[in-house]
Amino acid sequence: MTTFSEFQKNPVPPAELIKSQRIPPAARPFQGNRAGLFSRVAADVIDVVAVSVLMVALYFGLMAAEFIFLPESNIMKLNPYLFLAAGYFVMWLYWTWSWATTGRTLGKGIMGLRVLNHKGERMRWSGAALRSVFCLVFPFGLLWTVVSNRNRSVQDVVLRTSVVNDWGETVSI
């Protein structure tokens, strides 16, 4: 098992040295360091926009299906609050799955970030699910990175996780 300190000292294991060739030279000094506020916010905005686009497409798809198959009926008046709740559920599912499988979401992959547990490894399903709930319920916890000398959000402090700069692999969805 690798601790976070060991990961930070050597973020690219020798077996993955070939992959490090893909890391931009300007980014190599930051590899393995904890990510700052702006890169994390940008990654989260990308994720929220992606899920929002998915939910809007689903909404219009359901409305189109109603129009095609039940043109004279108006039974499918979707409650916007129910759709908002469904969006939160999809966001939770998306974050949980992404953090537990690859350690990064689409946004974190684009921004070159990865979520790790306290051992410097990919999160377990239970930890990823709990972190997702925490991020959805208390999104302003991310602002703690501004005052934290270790660039950790409230979620990171409570759950002992870290979001690090890691350009080693591309995102796979």
Predicted structure pTM score: 0.78
Give residue 64's pLDDT. Answer: 84
Q: Report residue 133 CA to chain centroid gap.
A: 12
Residue 8: pLDDT band (50, 70, 90) is low
Give residue 170's pLDDT. Answer: 47
pLDDT above 60 for 36:
yes
* Residue extents of the structural domains in the chain: 4-8+31-165
Q: What is the mean pLDDT of residues 168-173?
A: 48
The total of other beta-carbon atoms located within 10 Å of residue 100's CB is: 19
Kindly tell me the sign of the dihedral angle through the C-alpha atoms of 7, 13, 19, 24: positive
pLDDT tens, position by position, 112-158: 899 999 888 899 999 999 999 999 999 898 888 888 888 899 999 99
pLDDT tens, position by position, 39-94: 999 999 999 999 999 998 988 888 888 888 877 766 667 777 888 899 999 999 99
